[in-house]
A and B are shown apart, each in its own frame.
Chain A
């Protein structure tokens, strides 16, 4: 079975603090893809990053960075110097190797990040 676990339900930080959102996944597929999406109060899911299972190189993009570790089945997301505009629900998602054109995402339950001014 495939599963994504985001153990942190809510996180509250003060602006300019660094914050890490945890994601642990389960899959038996050898090829899979991991994603992070941001959902502001408006409801639209905004794509942030995609990683392939065969590419464990970590990535930094501005204030965002991602730490992918296959050994612990984790794909954590860090925001450096958080800002009020970062306040949103963040979802980690997994897509297995279904074959064909099937493009199904398995989402975690999300982490609500509140950045206080």
Chain B
């Protein structure tokens, strides 16, 4: 069974740039959630994708957007990067049927915005 994978592992960008982070969900899972974890804090929910549509969103501006593909992999896009976007970005996948399943996390992408 393949776990959740994310790419790249590290990324350095400058203010104003755009970034795309990628996530492959665990085998058999149909839902992907993205979280932002600032240094010393707990992860904060950005949004979730289910059946290729956004299904739930946290308190993040529209410049945070995403996609889910038919194979359930996902992308997180952030436009107009700000210094405060520097964080660990975690992707989690789960199986949603009649109930929501446990989320399993990938290793994360560390983004540094200069």
Question: A110 touching B96 by the CB < 8 A rule?
Answer: no
Min CB distance, B85 to chain A, in Å?
Answer: 17
Question: B56 touching A102 by the CB < 8 A rule?
Answer: yes
Partner of A43, one of B50, B51, B100, B108: B108
Min CB distance, B10 to chain A, in Å?
Answer: 11
Instruction: Mark A74-107 against chain B: 1 for CB-CB distance below 8 A, else 0.
Output: 0000000000000000010101001011111111
Total A-B Cβ pairs within 8 A: 71
Please give, as numbers and ranges, the residues of chain B lying within 8 Å of A43 by CB-CB distance. 88, 90, 107-108, 110
A55 within 8 A of partner (CB): no
Min CB distance, B24 to chain A, in Å?
Answer: 14
Question: A110 touching B108 by the CB < 8 A rule?
Answer: no
State the main secondary structure of chain B at its contact with A. Answer: strand
B41 within 8 A of partner (CB): yes
B103 within 8 A of partner (CB): yes
Question: A44 touching B105 by the CB < 8 A rule?
Answer: yes
Please give, as numbers and ranges, the residues of chain A lying within 8 Å of B104 by CB-CB distance. 47
Please give, as numbers and ranges, the residues of chain A lying within 8 Å of B96 by CB-CB distance. 101, 103
Q: How far is the CA of A103 from the CA of B31 in the complex (A)?
A: 9
Question: B33 touching A104 by the CB < 8 A rule?
Answer: yes
Partner of A44, one of B56, B101, B103, B107: B107
| Nearest 7 interchain pairs by C-beta | A107-B42, A102-B56, A45-B105, A103-B100, A101-B50, A44-B107, A43-B108
- Interface positions of A (Cβ within 8 A of B): 4, 35, 37, 42-47, 50, 91, 93, 95, 98, 100-110
